[in-house]
Amino acid sequence: MNVQARGLRKVYPGVVALGGADLEIPGGSILGLLGKNGAGKSTMIKVLAGVVAPDAGEILVDGAPIALGSPHDAAAQGFAFVHQELADVPNLTVAENVGLGLGYPTYPGGLVKRRALSRWAKEVLDRLEAPVDPGASLSSLSVAERRLVTIARGLAADARMFVLDEPTASLTDDEIEHLHKVLRSLRDQGVAIVYVSHRLDEVFAVTDRVTVMRDGHTVYSAATADMDKPQLIEEITGTAIAPEQRRRHVPADGADELLRVEGMSRPGVVEDVSFTLRKGELLGVAGLVGAGRTELMRLIFGADPATAGRVWLNGEELTIRSPRDAMAAGLALLPEDRKEQGGVLDFSVRKNITLTTMPRFRVARGVPMPNERRERATTRAFVERLKIKVANPEHPMRYLSGGNQQKAVLAKWLGSDADVFIFDEPTHGIDVEGKEEIYDLMTELAERGKGVIFISSEFTELVGACNRVLVMRDGRVVSQLEGSAITDAALVGLCYAHE
């Protein structure tokens, strides 16, 4: 089965996720789909899965256009998906998961023929050489085994195309090798396979062709054998269209140490991380999703408990057990997920902005009641200063666009008198102009002697803004780049390296 996507376009408010992207998925081959976060890979997959309806464009199977209105339609076309997050039912058995939604074999009356179901599942699992007991509860299986069960489910449905999104995350080398073997054998049976991965070594090991996406377009496609790694990195980062170099803020020589973190650990997530931050420094933290960047910052901020680690601010050791402690000490954290963690969406913009600094707006000293008039005045000043587009700051934050919500959450923290600002993906899902404004804000904070930690998966913005960048991988700081050594290629190379 050959699958083609033509001119797929999908625009979210403020973001063009797909800008007319094409994709060729030939049967009997393994296609590597690559691109940075936000390049449009996930939207492409969601369109193929029938989860997202494109604004324009079409999908063709063997040259004939098909309609994908729902995940059910996609399954009917023989498309199967193995998502990064496990999407199975842990409290059912392996066999029940394999047959889920495909129609279990039943007796007249609807009772399930358990033996027949087990036999069916066993047969499929054997084709994958997966040593899994069909009767076992899925929750007793390892991540690798559960991925195989998901693939088995696709096989049981006679899927002709498999899309695997980061299928090797948290797998051991042996498990990866087994998975690759399974994929090759499926390919040899004529199945089309899309293999999405950030790990270039694996892409070279298993794929036949590679297609690269960037900024919502497919920009490059070639046989894997015809390319080398530096070339691929160049295609992924798109150095040709790198934005003009911004002025980097460099802290004054001999600026005092502001923050010191030593031995921060939470097993399996963050492993023994130490670093320092100087006054007036804008420190970048690079890494792929899951590298432990967000988790590290949450440990420092007291949002999650650390098993070990010490933090000093201005030479004084801090005891941080909760975000409240961290704030009192002078830390501020702009969380990664503004909807889940950043803002109270049903609260007005004003109430969101003043939430961290309520005691400043008291009607009178010592009376813990806010004076709304003063709150409004401050809100107004922030709305003007950050150019937050809002008809009325008394309207719920829910009515704002993503970028403006992010600015409102930023304002919440900018109003505090913290010494260290941690911004986790502050520009995620924000348009170019909004991004520039946020870079300017971070630079301004640094110029005022604050310490700023800037986490980003878009390496070009770290290259543009930071004079020092920590690179994290598998919960550790694996490298630290400074000055002219900070380049997109260097960051990509370090982040994607896989030992």
Partner 1 sequence: MSDDVPSPALVLDKQPDVNADPGAPLIAGAGGNRAGTFTETASRYGLLAAFLITIVVFSVARPSTFPTGRNVESILTSAAPPMILALGLTVVLVMQDFDLSIGAMIGLASGAAMNFMAKNGIDWIPAVLLVLLIAVAAGAVNGYMVAFLGGSSFIITLAMGTVLTGIEFAMTNQDTVYSGFSSSFQDVASGELLGLSHQIWIAAIGAVFIWLLLDRSEIGRYMYAIGGNSEAARLSGVRVRVLRLMGFVIVAIGAAIVGLLLTAQSGSYAPNIGTSYLLPAFAAVFLGAAVFRPGEFNTAGTIVGVLFLGVIQTGLTMLDLATYMINLVQGGILVTAVLVSRLGQRRAG
Name the one range near partner 1 by CB under 8 A: 143-151, 164-172, 363-371, 478-486: 363-371
Per CB under 8 A, 184 contacts partner 1? no
List, in sequence order, every residue forming a beta bridge with 365; answer none if it has no partner.
none
Least distance CB 170 / partner 1 (angstroms): 24
Least distance CB 298 / partner 1 (angstroms): 9
Q: Dihedrals φ, ψ of 165, to 5°?
A: -100, 115
Q: Cβ closer to partner 1: 210 or 445? A: 445
Contact 306, 428 (CB under 8 A): no
Least distance CB 95 / partner 1 (angstroms): 32
Of positions 161, 400, 455, 469, contacts partner 1 by CB under 8 A: 400
Of positions 159, 236, 390, 430, contacts partner 1 by CB under 8 A: 390
Per CB under 8 A, 459 contacts partner 1? no
Per CB under 8 A, 304 contacts partner 1? no
Distance (Å, rounded) from C-alpha 217 to C-alpha 193? 20
Core vs surface per residue 215-254: b (16+ CB within 10 A) or e: bbbbbbeeebeebeeeebbbbbbbeeeeeeebebbebeee
Q: Cβ closer to partner 1: 35 or 451? A: 451
Per CB under 8 A, 377 contacts partner 1? yes
Q: Cβ closer to partner 1: 318 or 332? A: 332
Q: Cβ closer to partner 1: 98 or 411? A: 411
By CB under 8 A, the count of residues binding partner 1 is: 64
Per CB under 8 A, 14 contacts partner 1? no
Of positions 26, 57, 370, 493, contacts partner 1 by CB under 8 A: 370
Q: DSSP H helical segments within 273-394, as ranges?
A: 293-300, 323-329, 349-354, 372-385
Q: Dihedrals φ, ψ of 348, to 5°?
A: -70, 165
Name the one range near partner 1 by CB under 8 A: 121-129, 274-282, 354-362, 459-467: 354-362
Distance (Å, rounded) from C-alpha 189 to C-alpha 29? 10
Q: Cβ closer to partner 1: 355 or 478? A: 355
Q: What is the C-alpha radius of gyration for the chain, rounded to an integer number of angstroms? A: 25
Q: What is the DSSP letter of 170?
A: T
For 314: left if phi > 0, alpha if psi spans -120 to 50, otherwise beta; the answer is: left
Which strand (E) or helix (H) includes residue 155?
A: helix 143-156
Least distance CB 364 / partner 1 (angstroms): 8
Of positions 127, 260, 374, 476, contacts partner 1 by CB under 8 A: 374
Of positions 176, 445, 463, 465, contacts partner 1 by CB under 8 A: 445
**Which of 343, 346, 356 is CA-nearest to residue 407?**
343
Per CB under 8 A, 255 contacts partner 1? no
Q: Cβ closer to partner 1: 216 or 402? A: 402
Q: Cβ closer to partner 1: 41 or 412? A: 412
Distance (Å, rounded) from C-alpha 65 to C-alpha 57? 10
Contact 426, 437 (CB under 8 A): no
Contact residues for 378 (Cβ-Cβ < 8 A; gap 6+): 353, 354, 361, 415
Per CB under 8 A, 415 contacts partner 1? yes
Distance (Å, rounded) from C-alpha 53 to C-alpha 67? 10
Q: Which residues bind partner 1 (CB under 8 A)?
A: 301, 303, 322-324, 327-328, 332-333, 335, 340-347, 351, 355-360, 362, 365-366, 368-370, 372-374, 376-378, 380-385, 389-393, 395, 399-400, 412-418, 421, 441, 444-445, 448, 450
